[in-house]
Amino acid sequence: MEEMRLQKYLALAGVASRRKCEELILDGKIEVNGKIENVLGTKVNPETDEIKYNGKIVKIEEEKVYILLNKPIGYVTTAKEQFGRDKVLDLIKIDKRIVPVGRLDMYTSGALILTNDGDLVNKLTHPKNEVDKTYNVTVKGIVTKEDVENLSRGVTIDNDYITKPAKVKILKIDESKKISRIQITIHEGKNRQVRKMCEAIDKKVLALHRSKIGTLDVKDLKIGEWRYLTQKEVQILSSTKNELRCKYFK
Give exposure, 118-147, as e/b (b: 16+ Cβ within 10 Å): bebbbbbbeeebebbbbbbbbbeeebeeeb
Write out 84-133 in H/E/C secondary structure: CCCEHHHHCCCCCCCEECCCCCCCCEEEEEEECCHHHHHHHHCHHHCCCE
Domain co-membership, 38 together with 17? yes
What CATH number is given to the structural domain containing 71?
A: 3.30.70.580
Whether residues 162 and 232 share a domain: the answer is: no
- 75 and 197 share one domain: no
The pLDDT tens digits of the residues spanning 3-38 come to 899 998 998 887 888 888 999 999 999 999 999 999
pLDDT confidence of 78, banded at 50, 70, 90?
Answer: confident
State yes or no: is 105 an active-site residue. Answer: yes
Q: Which of 247, 238, 249, 250 is nearest to 64 (CA)?
A: 238
- Which of 171, 159, 174 is CA-nearest to residue 135? 171
Q: pLDDT of 112-122, one tens digit each?
A: 999 988 888 88
Catalytic residue chosen out of the listed positions 90, 105, 158, 174: 105
Domain limits for position 157: 132-213
pLDDT mean over 215-229: 94
Whether residues 171 and 225 fall in one domain? no
Quote the pTM value: 0.74
Number of domain units in the chain: 3
Based on the number of CB atoms within 10 Å of its own CB, is 238 exposed (0-12), middle (13-18) or buried (19 or more)?
Answer: middle
CATH number at residue 51: 3.10.290.10
Residues 6 or more apart in contact with residue 176 via CB below 8 angstroms: none
